[in-house]
Structures are given as structure tokens and as C-alpha cells.
Amino acid sequence: MTQGYLNKVYDARDAAQTRALYDDWSDSYDAEVAENGYITPSRCAEALAKFAKDQTAPILDFGCGTGLSGLALKLAGFETIDGMDLSEEMLAQAEAKRLYRDLTVIDADAPLAFKPGTYAAIAAIGVIGAGAAPISVLDTLLHALKRDGLLVLSLNDHALEDKTNEARINEWLDCGAARLLLREHGPHLPGIDLGSNVYVLEKA
């Protein structure tokens, strides 16, 4: 199995280093993760589809990368998808797939450039964890949802080793600010024997 960038991606780095790594990886990303059986996008999309009341309503694919998550969301029945990512090179690959209504380059430290409540659902698939976005992104995305909005996210086994990640999810649940609709462990990248939790949260 090819692991050129998978050997590097889970190392800690700052936002600029993360952007540079994903820019460099953009041309070979789809092939490398496909060879290793990347299944979390379809697991997340199918989980979200179980709870979404209206699959025609716009949804946000946050950290959309090359668009593999957008493809999974389309195949699960979602019709209007916007994407955001910090890597321009990854977004160029996503744009070529012609899946998205709109694609936006974001800065890791900048606020989200849309009004809260814009999206009925937000997906953060493979976004939070070691070598990627911090768990504070969970707060940002849940605040961006209106009441009863849905958030689907994944934490791979590396992210789950850091107990603060799932603890932050539990803080939202314990105070009643969000409801847990699904939490399910399963395969993430079977080629490197890595699993992930998929969560669907509903903002209270």
C-alpha cells in the first residue's frame, strides 16, 4: 500500500505547514487514500442522510479537500453542497469534480464568512485531529448551525487517542446544547488498519 503522505499527515504542525502539506499532496491525494480504502466519507454521508429532513437544503462540506467528501454527500442524496478548505490546490481538485455550488478558501484563524444558520447541515469529515484542525473547530461549526441543524464529523483513531477531542463533544452533550443522534466506530483507512468514530450531532 502506498503511504507517501499518510506517513506524514498525522504529525503535529501549525496551520501554514498543514496548508503546505495538503497543497503538495493534492495531485496524489485521491489515489493514495483510495488505495488504502478511505471509507469515512461514505460512512459520514450515509449517517447524515439518515437524519436530514430535507436533502435539497444547502449543506457545507467544511475541510472538503479534493472533494471526496462532496462526492460521498452527492451519492447519499444531497443536492446543494458548498465547500471550504484552507488548501487552494486541494480546492482546485474539488472544483474539477463539478460537485459544489461554491468553493471558498479559508484561513485557519479567520471567522467563518457566512451568517449563522445559513446551512441546514455541516459536514467535517476527516477534519479534526492530529495534523489537522483543532477540536475548537467543533465549537465554531456548532455555533454556525441554527437550532435543529445537523453536524456530521469523524475522529480517527489517532484523534481519539487525544481524550480532549471526544471530551469536547461530550461537553456539548452534557450541557444540553447538542443531542447525539449517532456515534459509531468503524473503518477509516483499512489499508493502514486505522478506524474512526462517526458522529451525528443535532444542535439543541
Q: What is the DSSP string of 71-99?
A: HHHHHTT---EEEEES-HHHHHHHHHTT-
Task: Yes or no: say if 197 and 185 are a contact pair by the CB < 8 Å rule.
Answer: yes
Q: What is the pLDDT along the chain (204 residues), one digit of tens a residue?
A: 444 555 555 555 566 666 666 666 666 766 776 777 789 999 999 999 999 999 999 999 999 999 999 999 999 999 999 999 988 888 999 999 999 999 999 987 788 889 999 999 999 999 998 777 899 999 999 999 999 999 999 999 999 999 999 999 999 999 999 999 999 999 999 888 999 999 999 999
Q: pTM for the complete prediction? A: 0.87
Three-state secondary structure call for residue 18: helix
Phi, psi (rounded to 5 degrees) for 89: -70, -40
- Helices 68-75, 40-51: axis angle to 10 degrees equals 40
- What burial class does residue 20 get, using C-beta atoms within 10 Å of its C-beta: 0-12 exposed, 13-18 middle, 19+ buried? middle
Residue whose C-alpha cell is 499532496 = 25
